[in-house]
Amino acid sequence: MIGGLFIYNHKGEVLISRVYRDDIGRNAVDAFRVNVIHARQQVRSPVTNIARTSFFHVKRSNIWLAAVTKQNVNAAMVFEFLYKMCDVMTAYFGKISEENIKNNFVLIYELLDEILDFGYPQNSETGALKTFITQQGIKSQHHTKEEQSQITSQVTGQIGWRREGIKYRRNELFLDVLESVNLLMSPQGQVLSAHVSGRVVMKSYLSGMPECKFGMNDKIVIDKQGKGGSADDAGKSELGGSGKQSIAIDDCTFHQCVRLSKFDSERSISFIPPDGEYELMRYRTTKDIILPFRVIPLVREVGRTKLEVKVVIKSNFKPSLLAQKIEVRIPTPLNTSGVQVICMKGKAKYKASENAIVWKIKRMAGMKESQISAEIELLPTNDKKKWARPPISMNFEVPFAPSGLKVRYLKVFEPKLNYSDHDVIKWVRYIGRSGIYETRC
């Protein structure tokens, strides 16, 4: 179990230090600073073992969060907790920055007391926490006496993530499918590895204790229904470029509100949603991924002092859709002494501080193509090492799910209050972003 939790700023100064167990001493704080934050070689592993003590760290901008233990704990659990901790802090005071942490340190200690007990993670549901941990960061909303008195029974009850008696005039529901697509492609255009990791994020403003049911084009469900042939998947090919009907999900995890027993037996996702924003599920797919862009690099070395680079990008989705925030990053050799760039579209610039040419395009429709060419001058060096040619990477945002996932339905039942599924206003949005999207050159 977690023995202690420390938060450092970028200099390695301790901002928050909370020790849960006696086997962690103060010297652990210094050990992490010396061996990880100030390490001569950059420490890449998120788990570091120093003198029989394990340190699990995550970094948020310039802030380091480190969980420490001397025991053999479940590392995945610790990281899940650290991410949750980040979420909770963000929900309370916004961006995790040194200033925010310094301003809210009383609150953070209060939170740490609540979500970890003797190193064991407890309730980390923001919604529930906000009802009883109120600090300046939270506008005190609707805290009547009776609500306060309900806290104990709610937090310890069966449905710890939702309290009773919530009422909205408009029953509304937002559903976002957020995906990031990762790719590594060879210079010849062969896919070396590709996967999509996605999240379904919901924001629900529903009255009472509604029972929800979520359906998507999961291959197993579709195949099972098979001949039953429901009419739910009408208009299936409206989004994305592919007409495929179902997708294969490699693995998925759910929010605690989802009834796992039901998912295991019927593969249906039913739940009583928390109030407000939460992440319903996370999933990963590796098959039949729609790659929104194709990068075609061409690098030619002219003698020892010159390099010619030409890069073509092609968008590969429906012409009616628009990709945004496109950025192509072409690495340059370390001995670059000058660069000339010509591009048809967008803006391109040599950034010496990053050793790369950065090409930005604001918008680009589907089934289009654009190109950039650059001449790079090199300084002869006495270093015999050849340039390693790091891959060209790319960033973008597209309004569809590259995995092909589609929401088939989201049904809401509330037997006690008199509103039906049809009265709920539902919004669905798909966003596909680039993760690590690289092409070798």
Our finding on whether 383 is near other proteins (CB under 8 A) is yes
Is the Cβ of residue 267 or residue 306 nearer to other proteins in the bound state?
306
Our finding on whether 379 is near other proteins (CB under 8 A) is yes
Our finding on whether 319 is near other proteins (CB under 8 A) is no
Q: 270 forms bridges with which residues in the sheet?
A: 213
Q: How many CA atoms lie within 13 A of 51 on its CB side?
A: 11
Is the Cβ of residue 354 or residue 423 nearer to other proteins in the bound state?
354
Region near other proteins per CB under 8 A, out of 210-218, 267-275, 375-383, 416-424: 375-383
Is the Cβ of residue 63 or residue 185 nearer to other proteins in the bound state?
63
| Cβ-contact 391, 356 below 8 angstroms | no
The residue whose two tokens read 């029974």 is: 153
Minimum Å distance from CB 40 to other proteins? 7
Our finding on whether 285 is near other proteins (CB under 8 A) is no
- 349: annotated binding-site residue? yes
- What is the rounded CA–CA span in Å between residue 47 and residue 95? 24
User: Which residues 6+ apart lie within 8 Å of 150 measured at CB?
Assistant: 163, 164
Query: Site map for other proteins, 237-276, x if CB under 8 A?
Result: ----------------------------------------
- What is the rounded CA–CA span in Å between residue 386 and residue 392? 18
Relative to beta strand 322-331, strand 392-398 is antiparallel
Instruction: For residue 55, give Cα distances in angstroms to 51, 190, 200, 270, 302.
Output: 10, 39, 31, 37, 49
- Which of 268, 355, 371, 373 binds other proteins (CB under 8 A)? It is 355
Cα distance from N-terminal residue to C-terminal residue, the chain: 46
- Which of 191, 298, 352, 365 binds other proteins (CB under 8 A)? It is 352
User: Which residues 6+ apart lie within 8 Å of 196 measured at CB?
Assistant: 179, 180, 181, 182, 284, 285, 286, 289, 401, 402, 403
Our finding on whether 320 is near other proteins (CB under 8 A) is no
Minimum Å distance from CB 10 to other proteins? 5
- In the region spanning residues 21 to 50, those forming contacts with other proteins, defined by CB under 8 A, are 40, 42
**Among candidates 431, 438, 406, which has minimal Cα distance to 180?**
431
Minimum Å distance from CB 382 to other proteins? 6
DSSP readout, 91-157? HHHSS--HHHHHHTHHHHHHHHHHHEETTEE----HHHHHHH---TTS---S--HHHHHHHHHHHHS
Our finding on whether 62 is near other proteins (CB under 8 A) is yes
Our finding on whether 167 is near other proteins (CB under 8 A) is no
- Which of 250, 301, 377, 423 binds other proteins (CB under 8 A)? It is 377
- Which of 49, 340, 381, 420 binds other proteins (CB under 8 A)? It is 381
Residue 410's identity, in one-letter code, is L
Is the Cβ of residue 34 or residue 106 nearer to other proteins in the bound state?
34
Residue 169's SS3 state is coil
- Which of 144, 158, 188, 382 binds other proteins (CB under 8 A)? It is 382
Our finding on whether 90 is near other proteins (CB under 8 A) is no
- Which of 126, 131, 246, 336 binds other proteins (CB under 8 A)? It is 336
Is the Cβ of residue 10 or residue 368 nearer to other proteins in the bound state?
10
The footprint of other proteins (CB under 8 A) covers 10, 40, 42, 62, 334-338, 352-355, 377, 379-383
Binding-site residue set = 347, 349, 351, 360, 362
